[in-house]
Amino acid sequence: MANHMHFAACFLKSKNKQIKQKNQYTCNPELLTAGLEIANQNKSILISAEVFAKDIDIEALSVYLQPWQFVTIVIYYRRFYDWIISYNNQLYKRGKIEASLYDELNDKETMQMYEDAHTYQLLYRFHQVFDNIIIMNMHDTTTSLQKGFIAMQYQMLGTCAKK
């Protein structure tokens, strides 16, 4: 997972290209080169990092992904008030906020930050650049998130039997 974060850090808008979390993730240009070698071999690449929901330069990511013929962006939907509790807890654990969730929800600036990182805003930002975007519902209990994602990929390739 750390490589995903080091890769994603290369597309941050901030100049220092560093994801400030428990571990400091910085851009690793070797991962970008490795990705382009994968593209040159006409192979697929899967990149997953939560930071893509935040301070990402979507235009730069789009330029990087141009060698691939098919690019699919997958966004996982989580109900806002389920997601915001988890997001708030992560920020609190990292020392980024000190207020209670109640206080945070009543702060306009904080609410704007929360709203900017949630699914519908993320979808809007990515849709400005990418055409093929899929939303996966985290609340779908018919299968696990991983199995649902894999089945969705097979359906896109036309290799799953349709019911």
Question: Does residue 33 surpass a pLDDT of 90?
Answer: yes
pLDDT at position 22 is 47
Indicate the SS3 state at residue 122: helix
Mind listing the pLDDT tens digit for each residue in 5-25?
A: 888 889 888 755 555 554 567
Q: What pTM does this model have?
A: 0.70
* Element at 133 (helix H, strand E): strand 133-137
Mind listing the pLDDT tens digit for each residue in 74-121?
A: 887 777 777 778 777 877 777 777 777 777 778 887 777 777 777 778
Could you tell me which residues come within 8 angstroms of residue 20 by beta carbon, excluding any fewer than 6 positions away? 94
Long-range contacts of 37-46, Cβ-Cβ distance < 8 Å, separation of 24 or more: 39/67, 39/68, 40/67, 44/68
Mind listing the pLDDT tens digit for each residue in 34-71?
A: 999 999 999 988 888 777 777 789 999 999 999 998 88
Mind listing the pLDDT tens digit for each residue in 117-135?
A: 777 788 888 999 999 888 8
